[in-house]
Chains A and B, each alone.
Chain A
Amino acid sequence: MAAEESYPDELKYHREHDWARIDGDEAVLGITWFAQDSLGELVHFEPPTDGQQIQRGASYGEVESVKAVSDVIAPLSGEVLEVNRKAVDEPETVNADPYSEGWLIRIRLSEPAEADELLDAGAYRAFLAEQ
């Protein structure tokens, strides 16, 4: 079941259609409703490994649907603390619930100030409207 379109206010957004839920020096990352809707139902999520360093603006994994394979771009830099096994085992979870059950990875931020450059929900909606 696909989720209804939404962009929760408590999240930060990246123009590559990723979101971050920042909590102190950690963040949970995932893809937005728009990203999962554009891809269609996911059939595979190729995650990074625990402990891997990811760089803002660079790919940290891949999501695959029957339409396309797409890089997942990191909105923030840091070290991978945890991968959501549910998103790996049942990638359709990302379609059903992109912001909670369908999160992708949890990281420890290496450059917390990068968060200032992310968009809030309103700015991300405005960005989508221009697309």
Chain B
Amino acid sequence: MKLIYEKSQSGRTAYTLPRYELETPELPEALRRSEPPRLPELAEPELVRHFTELSTRNFGIDTGFYPLGSCTMKYNPRVNERLANLPGFRDLHPLQEEEGAQGALELMWRLQEALVEVSGLHACSLQPAAGSQGELTGLLLMRAYFTERGEHEQRRKIVIPDSAHGTNPASVTMAGYELTPVKTDARGNIDVEDLRAKVDEHTAGLMITNPSTLGLFDEHVEEIARIFHSVGALMYYDGANLNAVCGISRPGDMGFDIIHINLHKTFSQPHGGGGPGGGPIVVRDTLEPFLPVPQIVRDGDTFRLDFDRPKSIGKVRGFTGPFGVFIRSYAFIRMWGPQLKRMSEIAVLNANYLLARLRDAYDLPFDRLCMHEFVVSARSLKREHGAGALDVAKRLMDYGFHPPTVYFPLIVPEALMIEPTETEPKEVLDEFCDALLAIAREAADSPELLKDAPHDRPVRRLDEVRAAKRAIVRYGFEDHPDLGAEPVEPRQLEAQKGA
């Protein structure tokens, strides 16, 4: 497919702007362009065809199964969009006065209440824009809490398991803390003995994801809470995997003090392109005074923004956070209502169904029932046939599926991390298993099918190393390299033959 610049023809135009009749403001000579910008020139039908063709090369949850582990790519109900498009929400200005925005404030307040209930904690701030910012905000709350108690200088360490999301150690460093890694035991839990040796009066807190990135619920979470609480440290719950436990177990009851919730994962939001996300945090009452301002509060029948919080760590995001995200997630939560538990139960059931069908064809690093996702390894395929996790993932694209997360968590070699979510029917789960089982057979019979994959996608195997080292991010008009690839014949797929 040609780039839009390659289709450009001098003098073509899709739309002519009305003549500009206002006075032209004076611009200093130095700021004026000497030449017009080099924009592509196309007629409207060519423009529409270009972007329509591009759109057909996209892959999203609306076009197929997207089992990207840890990312919770669930179907986004259309009613969410309808509600987010109501003029009373859509046309609000962020600076609208409070009396004219009561509906929006009430929705945010009610969303906070729902998140408080799911968490088993006490107070919420919707501000953080995503999980990573929720983490940083949570750590800043820890710092404010210990500073007030006069313990900040003493408590410098945050404990993180080796299975953690990469954002956890990054947030710890950004917040000015020191990292204390802790090991995973043979059942995929935090190694409690290793932990006990590393937690003392210099520990500020723990950050864990539970269920972990291995898709396993930590069987020692109560013991872990006792260890941290006995030295006066705080516990942070990374809510990335909350989709597994809603209405079943609550982080507050497990002993956690701070949690972030990825609204875009657990509570539905189109987020495949990197946003928009939402990472509200919910905290125990002891941390409430430090929450970001403004807080959304209720006075009788009215709702308002409360800036008068002297101990607050301040704002962490412009205005009150990503409001469109709040509408969709609130709608999603209200649609499930008291049945929210079913959502998590089905997500866990779906993941265990996949695991049961795949366990003989791939290596299983921890042989346990999983939660809403699981990790298998392509290590034997790599060792015996030379085709690893990346090759399996690329071959899956030929079968019409988005690949799972690969090479994460880092503690499992050749990891494939699979999360089906609750929104997939059994037929889709079966087709996906058929494909992965077929690929395991292909690895043994003709491994080059995997190593050369994908075969029938718009682009073949991309050179990721070259892309990382020499990214071409703008069009070079005079010396643009030829990026076109030779078209290739699609290869036969075993699963489609009814294998």
Contacts and interface: CB of A to CB of B under 8 A. Distances in A.
A68 B410 contact: yes
Nearest to A41: B465
A43 B465 contact: yes
A38 B413 contact: yes
Interface in B401-422: 406-408, 410, 413
A65 B464 CA distance: 9
A43 B469 contact: yes
A67 B469 CA distance: 14
A58 to B, nearest CB: 11
A67 B468 contact: no
Given A67-B407, A68-B407, A43 B413 contact: no
Interface in B7-41: none
Nearest to B410: A68
Contacts of B408: 68
A102 to B, nearest CB: 15
22 contacts: A38-B413, A40-B390, A40-B465, A41-B465, A43-B465, A43-B468, A43-B469, A65-B465, A66-B464, A66-B465, A66-B467, A66-B468, A67-B390, A67-B406, A67-B407, A68-B407, A68-B408, A68-B410, A69-B166, A70-B410, A92-B465, A131-B413
The 7 closest A-B pairs by CB, nearest first: A66-B464, A67-B407, A41-B465, A43-B468, A66-B468, A43-B469, A68-B407
Interface string A21-60: 0000000000000000010110100000000000000000
Interface of B: 166, 390, 406-408, 410, 413, 464-465, 467-469
A92 B465 CA distance: 10
A77 B144 CA distance: 37
Contacts of A41: 465
A49 B467 CA distance: 28
A69 B408 CA distance: 11
A43 B463 CA distance: 12
Nearest to A39: B407
A62 B407 CA distance: 17
A67 B410 CA distance: 10
B30 to A, nearest CB: 39
Nearest to A65: B465
Interface string A65-109: 111111000000000000000000000100000000000000000
A107 to B, nearest CB: 24
A131 B413 CA distance: 10
Contacts of A66: 464-465, 467-468
Contacts of B410: 68, 70
Given A38-B413, A43-B465, A66-B465, 19 more contacts: A40-B390, A40-B465, A41-B465, A43-B468, A43-B469, A65-B465, A66-B464, A66-B467, A66-B468, A67-B390, A67-B406, A67-B407, A68-B407, A68-B408, A68-B410, A69-B166, A70-B410, A92-B465, A131-B413
